[in-house]
Amino acid sequence: MTSVTWRTTGAAALLAVATLGIATLPPPSSASGAGAAYASTARADDDADRRAGDYLVGRGIADVTGEVTEAGMMGYADLDQVSSGLHMRQRARAFVIADPQSGERVVHVLADAGMIFQSVRDAVLAKLEQRFGETYTERNVMLTATHTHAAPGGFSHHTLYNITTLGYHGKTFRALVDGIVASIVRADADLAPAELSLSTSELTNANVNRSKTAFDRNPEADKAHFPGGADTRSTTLQVRRGAPDGSTSLDGVINWFPVHATSMSTDNTLVSPDNKGYAEYAWERLARGVDYVADSDDPGFVASFAQSNSGDMSPNLNLRPSDGPTTDQFENTRIIGTRTYDAARRGLDDDRTLSGGVDSRIVYVDLANTAVRPEFTPDGKPHTTCPAALGAAFAAGSTEDGGGGLPIFKEGKDGGNPAVAAISEALYTASPALRACQGSKEILLPVGALDMVQQKLPVQLVRVGDLYLVGVPAEVTVVSGLRLRQAVAEAVGTDIDHVLVQGYANAYAHYLTTPEEYDAKEYEGASTLFGRYELPAFMQTAADLGAAMRDGDDVPFGEKERDRSASQFPSLQGAVVADAPPIGKAHGDVLTAPAATYRPGEQVSVTFAGAHPNNDLHHGGSYLTVERRTAEGWRRIADDSDWSTKLHWQRYGVAASKTTITWDVPADVEPGSYRIRYFGDARSLLGTVRSISGTSPTFSVVGR
C-alpha cells in the first residue's frame, strides 16, 4: 500500500502525530455505500512491535437535551408520563480512539437517551460524511444509550416507539442527532497521544435480577457466573494523556456496568439522565470541576457510564418501583449513581495496559429470517428466527421497574389473557411457521408483519487492543451476554474477560433472552421479538464477525431497511402557538418570591411568569442560574446541569406559563447573598421568538 499523509482535524491531532514521530500514515478504511465490504488494515502480526501508549484519543461532550415539556417520555410506554420540566440536562459523550500505525480509528458515543434508533444513526452518519468524508463510517462508529427512562421520545422512524409521544418529535430528534455529531467533532479535534488501560472491580449493591424465575431456568454452568443472579462486574477503560511536564493524567473513562436507568419511576416527569447520568455528573462535575457551560469545547475530563448486558438488571433493589435503597426516587438515583461511580474509581489502580491494534466490523442481519447453525443452538439442531412479534407479557410491563403495563396482562406461564390466547392461536393457525418459531409466546402484536419495528439490524464488533466490544441493538440479559462473550472469545482466541457486550448499540430490537429464559414467558422473553432462537442468531453473527476480524477478512455489509424519514408525521404534542404573560404581568416577572433567608439543606423556590421551554432548547446554555454575590459581581454557582436545581413548568390559562425554579441549598455552600435567574423564550402569534429573562429578589444563605 502506498503511504499517504493521514488527514486529521484539530491542532491536537497534528501535535500528536508530530510527538509520535510519524510522518505518514495509511488512510483509515472506508466504505462507499450499502453492500460494500470492509477490509481491515490492522493485522495481529503488527501487534508484537506495538508500544503501550501508541494510541491517539480524543474526547468530546455535547448537549442533546430534547423537549423538556409536553413530550411523551421514552421507556415506560406510559401515555401519562409527559415531560413537565428539567432536572438535569442530557448529554452525549464521545471517544475517538485511533491507531497511528494502521490509520484505523473507532468512535464510541454514549448518549443520555432511552435508545438509539436507526433513524438517529443514519442521520448522524450522514452529517459525519458531510464533514469528514470517509473517516467515520458505518463500520467504525458505535452509538449507544444509557437507557434513561426520564427523557423525551418521539425520535424513531418506526411507529411503535412514537405511540406514547403521539407521533414524531422533530425537535427532539434533531437535538439528539446534532448533539451526538457535535460530541464526535469535538473528540476528533481533541486527538492526542494516550495510554489505554482496563480495570475491573466488584459492585454488589447496585443491581438485582428482576426476572429471577427466568434466570433460574438456565443451566447451572451459566448461573455459576452470576451468584444471586446479578452481574456485579464493573469494567473501566482509562484514558491517560501526557502533560507538559512529561507526566500523564487521567483524562477520561468509559465504564461498563449492567443496571437499568430506572431509578426514576414512571411518576417522574422531569427530564433526567437517571443513575447513569448522576455517575457521569459525580465524576465530571463534582470530582473534576467540569463546567458544562464554560468548558463545552474542552471539558478537561469526560466520564461515560455505559450499559452492558443489563436487560434483567434493576436498580430497584427491593424489586418494586422506586424502592431500594430508599423509597425516594431522586435519592435512589443519587445513591445508585454514586455507588456506580465509586466502584469505577476503586478499580483504577488495579489495571492492565492495553496494547494492540484498533479494528471494527459491522453487518446488518435480517432477524426476521436468519438460519442458525447447529453449533449455536441448545439442542444442536438448525433453527430459524421469525418475523417480530410481541408477547402478552410485554403489555404487563416490568413490574419491578414500574413499566407502564396494563393490569389485565400478567407475566409468567400462568398469566396469559384469554383474549390474547385466542388471537395468538388464530395467528398460529394461519401460519404454522410462526408457531414453530415463536412457539411458547402468546402473541399480542405481530409488529414485524405490521412494519412497526426494525427487523434488519446491525451487529458490530469493535476492538481496542485486546478489548473486544460486541455492539448489540438490544437489552441483553446477563446469561445472554455471557454466551455472546463466550462466542466471540472463542472466535478471536482470547479470554472471555477481554470481551464485553455493549447493549443498546446502533438501533433497537427490544430484549434478548436465552432460549431457556424465553420459555418462562416473563416480560423480557415476551419482548424478545424474533423467537426462541434469536440469541443463537446473534451469537452466530458475532462469532462470524470475530473470525473475520481475527483473519483480517472482509465482511459483507448486508442489507439495511428502507429510509422512513420522509413518512414521519409531526406530533401536535407540545406544539406552541403563542406565549403571553398573566394579565397585569410581563414575561420574567416574579410571581412567587423566595424567603429572605435559607440554611443548607433547605429548598429555595421562585416562580416566574415564563414561556414555553420548547421554543428554544438552550443547548450549550441553561434555562436558569443560581448566582452568589462576590466582590467582583454576581458569580454563577449552579445551573440546570446541576443536581441541586429543578425547573417545573405548567400552563397558566390559555397561553400563559408559570416556571418554578427550585434550588436545594448544598451542605457545603458558602454563606452570603444569592439570587436565581430565569432565561426563556416567548413566541408571538406571528411566530417570532424573543428572549426573556427574570431575576429573583436577593436572599441570604446562612450557616447551620
pLDDT of residue 20: 35
Domain membership flag for residue 375: no
| Residue with grid cell 459491522, as numbered in its chain | 362
> Within a domain: residue 394?
no
Query: Same domain for 340 and 241?
Result: yes
Same-domain check for residues 551 and 597: no
Residue range 610-619, pLDDT digits in tens = 999 999 999 9
The pLDDT, as a whole number, for residue 29 is: 37
Task: Give how far Cα 411 sits from Cα of 78, 216, 395, 521, 675, Å.
Answer: 18, 15, 9, 6, 51
Question: Which residues make Cβ contacts (< 8 Å) with residue 251, sequence separation at least 6?
Answer: 57, 59, 194, 239, 240, 241, 300, 301, 302
Q: What is the CA radius of gyration of the chain?
A: 25
Picking from 496, 531, 556, the residue at the C-terminal end of a domain is 556
Q: Are 493 and 353 part of one and the same domain?
A: yes
Among 691, 573, 617, which Cα is nearest to 64's? 617
Q: How far is CA 35 from the centre of its chain?
A: 28
H or E stretch covering 463: strand 456-464
Least confident of 127-131, 169-173, 242-246, 326-330: 242-246
Task: Using pLDDT thresholds of 50, 70 and 90, give the confidence band for residue 418.
Answer: low
Same-domain pairing of 526 and 620? no
Paired sense of beta strands 192-202 and 351-353, if any? antiparallel
Cα(652)–Cα(660) distance, rounded to whole angstroms?
Answer: 12
Q: What is the pLDDT of residue 400?
A: 73
Query: 314 an active-site residue?
Result: yes
What are the tens digits of pLDDT across the range 131-169? 999 999 999 999 999 999 999 999 999 999 999 899 999
CB distance 347 to 234 below 8 Å: yes
Residue 597 contacts residue 699 (beta carbons within 8 Å): yes
Q: What is the pLDDT of residue 35?
A: 34
**pLDDT-derived band of residue 598, with 50, 70 and 90 as boundaries?**
very high
Question: What was the pLDDT predicted at 47?
Answer: 43
Burial class (CB in 10 A: 0-12, 13-18, 19+), 90: buried
Least confident of 6-20, 324-338, 438-452, 672-686: 6-20
- Number of other CB atoms surrounding residue 179 within 10 Å: 29
Pairing of strands 55-63, 456-464: unpaired
354, pLDDT greater than 60: yes
Instruction: Summarize the confidence of residues 53-66 as an average pLDDT.
Output: 93
Catalytic residue among 314, 360, 527, 657: 314
- Last residue of one domain, picked from the residues 510, 539, 556: 556
**Predicted confidence band of residue 590 (pLDDT cuts 50, 70, 90):** very high
Q: Alpha-carbon distance 203 to 324, whole Å?
A: 15
pLDDT at 25: 34
State yes or no: cis peptide before 321, omega within 30 of 0: no
Q: What is the separation of C-alpha 226 from the centre of its chain, rounded to a whole number of angstroms? A: 24
Confidence of residue 407 (pLDDT cuts 50, 70, 90): very low
Of 534, 556, 578, at which residue does a domain stop? Answer: 556
Strand partners, 323: 320
Q: Which of 35-39, 222-226, 294-298, 459-463 shows the lowest mean pLDDT across its residues?
A: 35-39
Task: Please check whether residues 218 and 76 belong to one and the same domain.
Answer: yes
At residue 627, the pLDDT reads: 98
At 53, the pLDDT band (50, 70, 90 cuts) reads low
- The reported pLDDT for the residue numbered 432 is 73
Q: Mean pLDDT in the chain?
A: 89
Measure the CA–CA gap between 518 and 364, rounded to whole angstroms.
Answer: 24
* C-alpha cell recorded at residue 244: 507538559
Whole-number pLDDT of residue 423: 65
| pLDDT confidence bin for 604, thresholds 50/70/90 | very high
The C-alpha atoms of residue 453 and residue 686 are separated, in whole angstroms, by: 38
Judgement on whether residues 243 and 330 belong to the same structural domain of the protein = yes
| Nearest residue to 407 via CA among 397, 421, 419, 418 | 397
Domain-embedded: residue 168:
yes
The CATH number that applies at residue 666 is: 2.60.40.2300
Written as nine digits, the cell of 239 is 484514558
Burial of 289 (0-12, 13-18, 19+ CB in 10 A): exposed
Neighbours of 700 (CB within 10 A): 14
pLDDT at 538 over 70: yes
Residue ranges of alpha helices (H) inside 95-169 are 118-132
In this predicted structure, the answer to whether residue 190 has a pLDDT above a threshold of 60 is yes
Looking at the chain, the whole-number percentage of residues with pLDDT higher than 70 is: 88
| Strands in 493-546 per DSSP E | 499-502, 511-512
Cα distance between residue 692 and residue 232, in whole Å:
48
Measured from the Cβ of residue 98, the count of other Cβ atoms closer than 10 Å reads: 29
Whether 697 has a pLDDT exceeding 60, the answer reads: yes
Dist CA 134 CA 347 (whole Å): 37
pLDDT of residue 30 exceeding 90, the answer is no
Arithmetic mean of pLDDT, 488-513? 98
Q: Are 120 and 176 in contact (CB under 8 A)?
A: yes
Confidence of residue 241 (pLDDT cuts 50, 70, 90): very high
pLDDT (tens digit per residue) in 6-19: 223 333 333 333 33
Crossing angle (nearest 10°) for helices 534-551 and 478-492? 30
- In 550-623, at which residue ranges do the beta strands (DSSP E only) sit? 555-556, 590-592, 597-598, 603-610
Per the structure block, which three cell numbers stand in for 357? 491494534
Contact 114, 261 (CB under 8 A): no
H or E segment to which residue 542 belongs: helix 534-551
Taking the C-alpha atoms of residue 47 and residue 193, their distance in angstroms, rounded to an integer, is: 18
pLDDT of residue 38: 32
Neighbour count for residue 346 (Cβ, 10 Å) = 16
* Cα–Cα distance measured from residue 556 to residue 362, given in angstroms and rounded to the nearest whole number: 9
Residue 34 has pLDDT above 50, yes or no: no
* Residue 404 in this model has a pLDDT that exceeds 70: no
151 and 239 share a domain? Answer: yes
Residues in contact with 426: Cβ distance below 8 Å, sequence separation at least 6, in sequence order: none
Residue among 50, 162, 54, 58 at smallest CA distance from 114: 162
**Which pLDDT does position 439 carry in this prediction?**
79
Q: Is the pLDDT of residue 99 over 50?
A: yes
Distance between first and last Cα of the chain: 71
Name the most confidently modeled range: 16-25, 532-541, 651-660. 532-541
Q: In the prediction, which pLDDT does 427 show?
A: 65
Structural domain boundaries, residue 330: 11-36+54-364+454-556
Judge if 537 and 611 occupy the same domain.
no
238/471 Cα distance (integer angstroms): 20
Mean pLDDT of all residues in 474-487: 98
Does 659 map to a domain? yes
Q: What is the mean pLDDT of residues 571-579?
A: 86
Distances (CA, A) of 297 to 16, 129, 189, 697: 18, 21, 9, 33
C-alpha span between 75 and 81 (Å, rounded): 10
Contact, 110 vs 304, CB < 8 A?
yes
Give domain status of residue 578, yes or no.
no
CA angle 214, 215, 217 (to 5 degrees): 70
Run of H or E residues at 482: helix 478-492
Residues 162 and 206 placed together within one structural domain of the fold: yes
| pLDDT for residue 26 | 37
Nearest to 475 by CA among 446, 501, 448, 445: 501
Report the pLDDT value the prediction gives residue 398, as an integer from 0 to 100. 60
> Could you tell me the CA-to-CA distances from 7 to 11, 17, 23, 125, 628 in Å, in that order?
12, 11, 11, 19, 46
Among candidates 188, 244, 133, which has minimal Cα distance to 11?
A: 188
Q: Which three cell numbers stand for residue 432?
A: 404454522
Rounded Cα–Cα distance for residues 572 and 580 (Å):
20
Please indicate, yes or no, whether residues 115 and 171 belong to a single structural domain of this protein.
yes
Domain count along the chain: 2
* Residue 416: pLDDT band with limits 50, 70, 90: low
Residue 569 has pLDDT above 90, yes or no: no
**Residue 623 forms part of a structural domain:** yes
DSSP string for residues in 239-293: EEEE-TTS-EEEEEEEEE----S-SS-TT--EE--HHHHHHHHIIIIIIT---TT
User: 421: which strand partners?
Assistant: none
Q: Which residues contact 43 (CB under 8 A, 6 or more apart)?
A: 357, 552
- 637 in a structural domain: yes
* CB neighbourhood size of 500 (10 A): 24
Q: Is 304 in the same domain as 228? A: yes
Give yes or no for a contact between 320 and 400, defined as CB atoms under 8 angstroms apart. Answer: yes
**Single-letter residue type at 96:** V
* Average pLDDT estimate for 570-580: 87
Same domain, 169 and 226: yes
Is 391 among the domain residues? no
